[in-house]
Amino acid sequence: MKPLAERMRPLTLDDYLGQQHLVGPGAVLRKSIETNRLPSFILWGPPGVGKTTLARIVAHQLDRPFFTLSAVHAGVKDVRDAIEKAKGQRFFDRPSPLLFIDEIHRFSKSQQDSLLGAVEEGVVTLIGATTENPSFEVIPALLSRCQVYVLQPLGKEDLIHLVDQALEKDEVLKTKPITVEEYDALLRFSGGDARKLYNVLELVCHFQTGEEPMLITDSLVAQLIQENLVMYDKGGEHHYDVASAFIKSIRGSDPNAAVYWLARMIEGGEDVKFIARRMIIAAAEDIGLANPNALLMATTTLQAVQAVGLPEARIILSEAVIYLATSPKSNSAYAAIGAAQEEVRRSGHLPVPLHLRNAPTHLMKKLDYGKNYLYAHDYPGNFVEQEFLPEEISGKTLFSPQSNASEEKIRQFLAARWKKRYGY
């Protein structure tokens, strides 16, 4: 059987809840639908406010061919195949078919480029759905050819209406003796997401069996949800828990766990750019000088996933995650900048020693700016010992190499030059 959210999906604008500024009497989108003069447009709003539902209602009411793609799974080939199918559905003066792309912000530039010609030529009317600001996530050439309609979060009264309507009209729930006494926990666990609200309600109602009436209270909902519902919430607390587990698995050199948490984020709908940015931080903070190439790998990964997009981006992310997890670890650079910042906060803004100051004017030279500075390249090995810290903290050690092959070379480099000063 279909999930409750699918069973309760409205089929007409009159049954559609919320977004009256777009679909209410005389509103812009309703007028476009009623006149059958529909521009390409992008629906921008938080999860669970009805973006996909609205797109399907538009197709249903206009009786146009309707093609759907998910940016999570579709590649450039899928886009081109959909456009070819749409071309085959165009007859004489009939309006163009509708092409709906869910999570369009997850399309790479090349994927979005592949849409341009079909949209511009009217082969398809594009409907995109996104939770991210299209100004940043949709290429300008495509954005300029689309209207952007902003969907607002559903209010408390709207969400309560959805619960009551489901208990009253759903083919399964209306046969059960269920009464809602308290709504707060249902709404809290749904986070304003209508789809998630239906999922929570359906899970709770599943525990009503036989003829025994069920009274839904906040405590009952909290108990059943915490025991049974496993969710990855892109915008909530669990989102950060999974991201934390991901980073700690990389830090702990466990590629199996790191790839698992990567998969959890991808399957949960996480933005690949967020994942790649976290990997850049891990490469600098946890691997650092033990393997400087890790930072290059992570940075290149961000560029690559932006260019390719899902689903192929998962392969790039997997390769990079395994590389990071199996790299030697060091936080010496992280510790050094932390120690340096702490020293600045402790000692304040100490004056730059005169010999390190630049002297572009005659007056500055008279004030001994740059005097006695020793130019390293004039000395054997391109090194000469001199003081580079302010006098008040002269000789202080902020960076300490750790025990790994790469930093052992750094340790030997410093020991050969600074000797007793650095204590090697």
Residues 347-356: contacts with CB under 8 Å, at least 24 apart: 347/390, 347/392, 347/393, 350/390, 350/391, 350/392, 350/393, 351/390, 352/390, 353/387, 353/388, 353/389, 353/390, 353/391, 355/386, 356/388
Q: Facing residues of 215 across strands?
A: 179
Q: State the pairing for strand pair 125-130/41-44.
A: parallel
| pTM of the full structure | 0.54
Q: Given this model, what pLDDT does residue 91 score?
A: 63
What's the pLDDT band for 1 if we cut at 50, 70, 90? Answer: low
Distances, alpha carbon 98 to alpha carbons 32, 181, 347, 385, in Å: 14, 43, 65, 72
Q: Is the pLDDT of residue 423 over 60?
A: no
Burial 177-201 (b: 16+ CB within 10 A, else e): ebebeebebbbebbbbbbbbbbbbb
Question: What CATH architecture does domain 156-228 belong to?
Answer: Orthogonal Bundle (1.10)
Mean pLDDT of 311-326: 92
Decide which of 89 and 66 is more confident.
66
Compute, in degrees rounded to 10, the torsion defined by CA atoms 75, 77, 79, 84: -170
**Cis upstream peptide for 140 (omega within 30°):** no
Q: What is the per-residue pLDDT across 370-406, written as a single tens digit (0 to 9) for each?
A: 888 888 888 888 888 888 888 888 888 888 888 888 8
Question: Which stretches of 2-95 are assigned E, i.e. beta strand?
Answer: 41-44, 66-70
Cβ contact 280:295 at 8 Å: yes
188 Cβ partners below 8 Å, 6+ apart?
none
| C-alpha radius of gyration, the chain, whole number | 30
pLDDT range class, residue 237, cuts 50, 70, 90: very low
Task: Specify the fold of 237-325.
Answer: Zinc Finger, Delta Prime; domain 3 (1.20.272)
The answer to whether 18-150 and 237-325 have equal CATH topology is no
Structure tokens at 368: 């001994």
- Count the neighbouring beta carbons within 10 Å of the beta carbon of residue 141: 14
The pLDDT score that the predictor gives to residue 235 is 47
Instruction: Give the pLDDT of residue 273.
Output: 87
Domain edges within the chain = 18-150, 156-228, 237-325, 342-422
Is domain 18-150 in CATH 1.10.287.70, yes or no?
A: no
- Residue carrying structure tokens 């010999």: 355
Q: What is the pLDDT of residues 247-270, one digit of tens each?
A: 999 998 888 989 999 988 887 777
pLDDT band at 236 (very low <50, low <70, confident <90, very high): very low
Q: Is the pLDDT at 322 greater than 90, yes or no?
A: yes
Report CA-CA distances (Å) from 351 to 16, 79, 396.
Answer: 67, 61, 16
φ, ψ at 100 (rounded to 5°): -100, 125
- What are the pLDDT digits (tens) for 149-202? 998 888 888 899 999 989 988 888 888 888 888 898 888 887 778 888 888 888
Q: Which two tokens stand for residue 141?
A: 């050439």
Please classify residue 364 by burial: count the beta carbons closer than 10 Å to its beta carbon, then call 0-12 exposed, 13-18 middle and 19+ buried. middle
Confidence check: pLDDT of 229 > 60: no
Beta bridge partners of 129: 43, 102
Task: Tokens 């999930």: give the residue.
Answer: 3
pLDDT digits (tens, 9 = 90+) for 346-372: 888 888 888 888 878 878 788 788 888
Give the best-scoring range by mean pLDDT among 4-8, 132-136, 208-212, 288-292. Answer: 288-292
